[in-house]
Amino acid sequence: MIAKLMLENGTVFTGESFGSEKESTGEVVFNTSMTGYQEILTDPSYNGQIVTMTYPLIGNYGVNTDDIESIRPQAAGFIVKEYSSFPSNFRSNENLGSWLKKHDITGIQGIDTRMLTKMIRSIGAMRGLISTEDLDDKSLLEKVRKVPQMTGLDLASRVTTDKPYAWNKTDTTPFSLPVLKTKEKKWNVAVYDYGVKYNILRRLTSYGCNLTVLPAHIPAEDLLKMNPDGVFLSNGPGDPAAVTYAIENIKKLICKKPIFGICLGHQLLALALGGKTYKLKFGHRGGNHPVKNLRTGRVEITSQNHGFAVDPDSLDSSAIEITHINLNDQTNEGFRHKSLPLFSVQYHPEASPGPHDSDYLFAQFMQMLAKK
């Protein structure tokens, strides 16, 4: 079935549908990972976004029950060059197309995704619309221009958990990383869920944490009543500056609990410390970003997925130490407080998908909890 992709600048791509047959809208972003489409699609940080993979051949290994980062696919739509309906992998239990259809996600193939990527690179992330129903360009353009801008959107509240829950699952697949437990004692860690990826929970559990996952709106006071050993601020979609309630809650936790943040959690922590965030032109999405750890001088190849970034100049340099920078564009990738037990990174040490170079950050969090 014919499907069309319309961008807010009026560019239209015609392709073939391989997902749900309907209309969907979102911010169009590209991801340069060559593997891991299932993890990407289920990552809540992609909520509200239409994702295109720069790698042209997608669907090759199907989908399975293990490689999920949340309960369902979260992206608003999926754009690929060539979809493979014939998966080949011992873990695959269905093909990508039927899975997308089951979860009512649009998918379009036959697109010059390189051209699309270059366009996003030069113009910036754009709003877009995939439709199998309306193929009239004029009408599509009108609709796409009504899609809300990403800046100013609080999407965390859309993907966070309804109610608190305990998590105690580790990675049980044959691919789990070795676990380096620092001690016998188990830490109680409260997780603010702004759209948390399962693998963050799996990794924290592997390192010996008892996790309680909390809805994004839970007041800091309620969290403190639980008296956890530490607090984790999760990744998530949307504009961090729009998640004002979270920033206020985090402010109340600083000085009281050791805190570790990832991605949106990193941005929210910066905002709570008085810093600023800004929207990147087209964001960082992929599994090959070089990040330099300024404390060791070592380079980590990292998994990234963010459209906003922390402005390092907005942070109080007397209190905050920049710990990581992106070597491609020198943007901030991590900081720590010089006296308080809190640190965060912009990228994804939990990988999934992506390289495992930064897994040590979980160990670092454990050391921080031990020192408290």
Partner 1 sequence: MPKRTDIQSVLIIGSGPIVIGQACEFDYSGTQACRVLRKEGYRVILVNSNPATIMTDPEFADATYIEPITAEFLEKIIERERPDVILPTMGGQTALNTAVTLAENGVLKKYGVELIGANLGAIKMAEDRELFRKAMDRAGLQSARGGFVNSIDEALKIAETIGFPIIIRPSFTLGGTGGGTAFNMEEFHSKVTHGLNCSPIHQVLIEESVIGWKEYELEVMRDTKDNVVIICSIENFDPMGVHTGDSITVAPAQTLTDKEYQQLRDASIRVIREIGVETGGSNIQFGVNPKDGRVLVIEMNPRVSRSSALASKATGFPIAKIAAMLAVGYTLDEIPNDITKLTPASFEPAIDYCVVKIPRWDFEKFKGVDDTLGVQMKSVGEAMSIGRTFKEALQKALRSLEQGRSGLGADGKDIIDVKKLSDAEKDEWKRKIMERIQIPRPNNIFYIRYGLQLGLTIEQLFQITGIDPWFLFNIRQIVEMEDKLKSEQFEKVSPELLRKAKEYGFSDHQLAEIWKTKEPSVRARRKKMNIIPVYKTVDTCAAEFAASTPYHYSTYERENESVKSGNKKIIILGGGPNRIGQGIEFDYCCVHGVMALREEGYEVIMVNCNPETVSTDYDTTDKLYFEPLTLEDVLNICDHEEPYGVIVSFGGQTPLKSAKALEENGIRILGTSPEGIDLAEDRERFGELLRKFNIVHPEYGTAYTVDNAVLVAEKIGYPVLVRPSYVLGGRAMEVCYSADSLRSYMKKAVDVSPDHPVLIDCFLEDAFEYDVDCVCDGKDVMIGGVMQHIEEAGIHSGDSACVIPPYMISGKTLDEIMEITVKLAKALEVVGLMNVQFATKDNIVYVLEVNPRASRTVPFVSKATGVPLAKIAAKVMAGKTIEELGCKDFDFRKLKHISVKEAVFPFSKFPRTPVFLGPEMRSTGEVMGISDNFGASVAKSQIAANNSLPLSGTVFLSVNNNDKNEVSLNIARDLQALGFSLTATSGTADFLNSHSIRCEKVFKVNEGRPNSVDLIKNGKIQFVINTPLGAVSRYDEYSIGWAALENKVAFVTTLSAAATAIKAIQKIKEGGVSVKSIQEYLKQD
- Spot the catalytic one: 8, 27, 263, 337: 263
Q: Nearest distance from residue 303's CB to partner 1, in Å?
A: 9
353 binds partner 1 (CB under 8 A): yes
Binding mask 154-183 for partner 1 (x = CB under 8 A): -------------------xxx-x------
363 binds partner 1 (CB under 8 A): no
Distance in angstroms (rounded) separating the CA atoms of residues 228 and 316: 28
Minimum CB distance to partner 1 smaller for 117 or for 206: 117
Q: Nearest distance from residue 187's CB to partner 1, in Å?
A: 26
The CA–CA distances, whole Å, from 132 to 5, 114, 203, 294 equal 9, 22, 40, 49
Minimum CB distance to partner 1 smaller for 38 or for 234: 38
Q: Nearest distance from residue 330's CB to partner 1, in Å?
A: 10
57 binds partner 1 (CB under 8 A): yes
Any catalytic annotation for residue 16?
A: no
Q: Nearest distance from residue 62's CB to partner 1, in Å?
A: 9
Distance in angstroms (rounded) separating the CA atoms of residues 255 and 97: 48
Minimum CB distance to partner 1 smaller for 2 or for 319: 2
The CA–CA distances, whole Å, from 74 to 106, 145, 281 equal 11, 22, 22
Any catalytic annotation for residue 348?
A: yes
Helix axes 244-253, 264-272, angle to 10 degrees: 70
Q: Nearest distance from residue 46's CB to partner 1, in Å?
A: 15
For the chain, how many residues are written?
A: 372
- Tokens encoding 136: 């009239």
Q: Where are the beta strands (DSSP E) in 84-186?
A: 106-109, 126-131, 165-167
Candidates 6, 27, 29, 39: give the one binding partner 1 (CB under 8 A).
39
Any catalytic annotation for residue 350?
A: yes
Stretch that binds partner 1, among 62-70, 209-217, 241-249, 360-368 (CB under 8 A): 62-70
- For every residue of 332-364, DSSP letters joined together read EEEEEESSSSEEEESS-TT-SSS--TTTHHHHH
Q: Going by DSSP bridges, is the β-strand pair 332-337/320-326 parallel, antiparallel, or unpaired? A: antiparallel
Query: Around Cβ 371, how many Cβ atoms within 10 Å?
Result: 8
Site for partner 1 in 330-349 (CB under 8 A): none
Distance in angstroms (rounded) separating the CA atoms of residues 304 and 286: 5
Candidates 21, 23, 82, 321: give the one binding partner 1 (CB under 8 A).
82
97 binds partner 1 (CB under 8 A): no
67 binds partner 1 (CB under 8 A): yes
Query: Around Cβ 216, how many Cβ atoms within 10 Å?
Result: 25
Distance in angstroms (rounded) separating the CA atoms of residues 31 and 328: 16
Which residues in this chain contact partner 1 in the complex, by CB under 8 A?
A: 13, 30, 32-36, 38-39, 54-57, 60-61, 64, 66-67, 81-82, 84, 86-91, 112-115, 117-118, 121, 173-175, 177, 286-290, 292, 297-299, 301, 327-329, 351-356
Q: Return the active site residues.
A: 263, 348, 350
